[in-house]
Amino acid sequence: MTDLTIDDLNRLDEEVFVDELDDVYEHSPWVPEQVLPERPFDSLVALREAMRSAVDEASRETKLELLRSHPDLGDQTGITESSEKEQASAGLDRLSPETYEAFQRLNDRYRGAFGFPFIMAVKNESPKAIKDAMETRVEQTESEEFRTAIEEVHTIARIRLEERVST
């Protein structure tokens, strides 16, 4: 479904509610499952904040699993429809072979440094801006980058919710 309202979401049975929101946080149905008891939500902001809190309050290991559920940027295999659209909006589905290889090298370097893929809210960004961010962020400490990656996940979730739920 698209163009749901917050009232529509509040009325959905639990399984459908989770199904509708299970990819807001990439491959993580546990997030909407966590917020079910908080319904009814009075606004999209309240839903977004509840989902954000569920992630923020999760264990480090659970957050790491969430980060690891994201695809490598530029790789189009096994990604959610939302990720596919976001990467396409940034032109990552049309990279030249040379640029694709450069992204893969950066992805490998980043994953080797941090143990999870590079995550960035790429909607409407350019491949150059993404590559520049990768080159900068791979130099951060593990704790700095973990926090940055979680913030990027929250930004992605906000964008997805705003696209899916009308206000």
What backbone phi and psi angles, to 5 degrees, belong to 73? -65, 135
Could you read off the pLDDT of 6-20 as tens digits, one per residue? 999 999 999 999 999
Query: What's the predicted TM-score (pTM) here?
Result: 0.90
- Catalytic residue ranges: 70
Could you read off the pLDDT of 47-60 as tens digits, one per residue? 999 999 999 999 99
What is the Cα 166 distance to its own chain's centre?
19
Domains of the chain in start order, with CATH, are: 4-166 (1.10.3330.10)
**Helix 127-137 vs helix 97-114: crossing angle, to nearest 10:** 30
CA–CA distances in Å: residue 40 to residues 70, 140, 166: 29, 40, 16
